[in-house]
Amino acid sequence: MHKKNSSLLSNRNFWLLAIGQGLSRLGDGLYVAALAWTAWELTRSLQTVAIVTLASNLPVFVGSVIGASFADRYDRKRIMMGCDLLRVLLVATLPLLLSLGWLDVTGLTVVAVLLGIAGTPFAPARNALVPQVVPADALLSANGLLQVSFRAAYFVGPLLLAPLVAFLSLPDVFLVDAATFVCSIGTLALMRIPANTSPTSRPGLWADLLAGWQALRLAPEVQVVITTFVLAILIASGFLTVGVIALVNTQLHGSAGQYGFLLGIAGLAEVVGALILTRLPLRNLALSAVLAWAVLGVFRLPLGFVTVLPGAAVLLGLTGMLSALTDIPLIALVQSQIAQRHLAKVLGLWEAGIIGAMSVSPLLASFILTHIGLQGGFVLSGATLIVLGSASALLVVRIQAKQRKTRAASRVTSSRSLA
pLDDT in tens, 380-411: 999 999 999 999 999 999 999 988 888 777 77
Question: Is the per-residue pLDDT at 1 higher than 50?
Answer: no
Rounded Cα–Cα distance for residues 24 and 20 (Å):
6
What total of structural domains would you count in the chain?
A: 1
Question: Is the per-residue pLDDT at 197 higher than 60?
Answer: no
What does the pLDDT read at residue 336? Answer: 84
Q: Average of pLDDT values for 98-125? A: 82
Q: Which of 150, 145, 136, 74 is nearest to 338 (CA)?
A: 136
User: What percent of the chain lies above the pLDDT cut of 90?
Assistant: 14
In angstroms and rounded to an integer, the radius of gyration of the C-alpha atoms of the chain is 22
212-221, 237-246, 395-404: which has the minimum mean pLDDT? 237-246
Rounded Cα–Cα distance for residues 360 and 234 (Å):
7
Question: Is the per-residue pLDDT at 196 higher than 60?
Answer: no
Q: pLDDT (tens digit, 9 = 90+) per residue, 4-28?
A: 555 676 788 888 988 888 888 888 8
Q: For residue 306, give the 3-state DSSP assignment.
A: coil
Question: Is the per-residue pLDDT at 199 higher than 60?
Answer: no
What band does 324 get if pLDDT is binned at 50, 70 and 90?
confident
Q: Which residues contact 380 (CB under 8 A, 6 or more apart)?
A: 368, 372
CA atoms within 13 A of residue 41's CA, in its CB half-sphere: 13
Rounded Cα–Cα distance for residues 345 and 208 (Å):
9
198 lies in a domain? Answer: no
395 lies in a domain? Answer: yes
Q: Which residues contact 204 (CB under 8 A, 6 or more apart)?
A: none
Q: What is the CATH number for 80?
A: 1.20.1250.20
199 lies in a domain? Answer: no
Rounded Cα–Cα distance for residues 400 and 295 (Å):
22
Q: Which residues contact 290 (CB under 8 A, 6 or more apart)?
A: 224, 225, 228, 389, 392, 393, 396
Question: Is the per-residue pLDDT at 151 higher than 70?
Answer: no
Burial environment of residue 202 by CB neighbours within 10 A (0 to 12, 13 to 18, 19 or more): exposed
Q: Helix, strand, coil: what percent of the chain each, to 5?
A: 85, 0, 15
Query: Do 333 and 225 meet the contact criterion of CB atoms below 8 Å apart?
Result: yes
Rounded Cα–Cα distance for residues 92 and 359 (Å):
24
Q: For residue 167, give the 3-state DSSP assignment.
A: helix
- Among 18-22, 95-99, 121-125, 267-271, top mean pLDDT goes to 18-22
Rounded Cα–Cα distance for residues 46 and 40 (Å):
7
Query: Do 271 and 155 meet the contact criterion of CB atoms below 8 Å apart?
Result: yes
Q: How far is CA 247 from CA 95, 257, 262, in A?
A: 29, 13, 10
What does the pLDDT read at residue 350? Answer: 85
81 lies in a domain? Answer: yes
- Among 174-178, 285-289, 335-339, top mean pLDDT goes to 285-289
- Residue 199 CB neighbours (<10 A): 9
Q: How far is CA 226 from the centre of its chain?
A: 12
What does the pLDDT read at residue 61? Answer: 66
Question: Is the per-residue pLDDT at 295 higher than 90?
Answer: yes
Q: Average of pLDDT values for 138-142? A: 77
332 lies in a domain? Answer: yes
Question: Is the per-residue pLDDT at 375 higher than 50?
Answer: yes
Question: Is the per-residue pLDDT at 167 higher than 90?
Answer: no
Rounded Cα–Cα distance for residues 51 and 69 (Å):
29
Q: pLDDT (tens digit, 9 = 90+) per residue, 25-78?
A: 888 888 888 887 778 777 777 777 777 877 777 777 667 777 778 777 878 888
What does the pLDDT read at residue 283? Answer: 82
Rounded Cα–Cα distance for residues 368 and 381 (Å):
10
What is the residue-wise DSSP string for 231-275?
HHHHHHGGGGTHHHHHHHHTTS---HHHHHHHHHHHHHHHHHHHH
Query: Do 270 and 156 meet the contact criterion of CB atoms below 8 Å apart?
Result: no
Residue range(s) defining the domain that contains residue 25: 2-191+206-409
Query: Do 140 and 131 meet the contact criterion of CB atoms below 8 Å apart?
Result: no
329 lies in a domain? Answer: yes
Question: Is the per-residue pLDDT at 415 higher than 70?
Answer: no
42-51, 109-118, 173-182: which has the minimum mean pLDDT? 42-51
Q: How far apart are the first and last CA of the chain?
A: 41
84 lies in a domain? Answer: yes
| Mean pLDDT (the chain, rounded) | 82
Q: Average of pLDDT values for 337-365? A: 82
Query: Do 20 and 132 meet the contact criterion of CB atoms below 8 Å apart?
Result: no
What does the pLDDT read at residue 2? Answer: 47
Q: Average of pLDDT values for 299-318? A: 88
Q: At residue 135, what is the residue type?
A: P
Q: For residue 44, give the 3-state DSSP assignment.
A: coil
Q: Which residues contact 135 (CB under 8 A, 6 or more apart)?
A: none
200 lies in a domain? Answer: no
What does the pLDDT read at residue 5? Answer: 52
To the question of pTM greater than 0.75 for the whole model, the response is no
Q: Average of pLDDT values for 131-158? A: 76
- Residue 371 CB neighbours (<10 A): 9
Query: Hey, CA dihedral for 232, 65, 207, 84, is it positive or negative?
Result: negative
Q: Average of pLDDT values for 240-256? A: 78
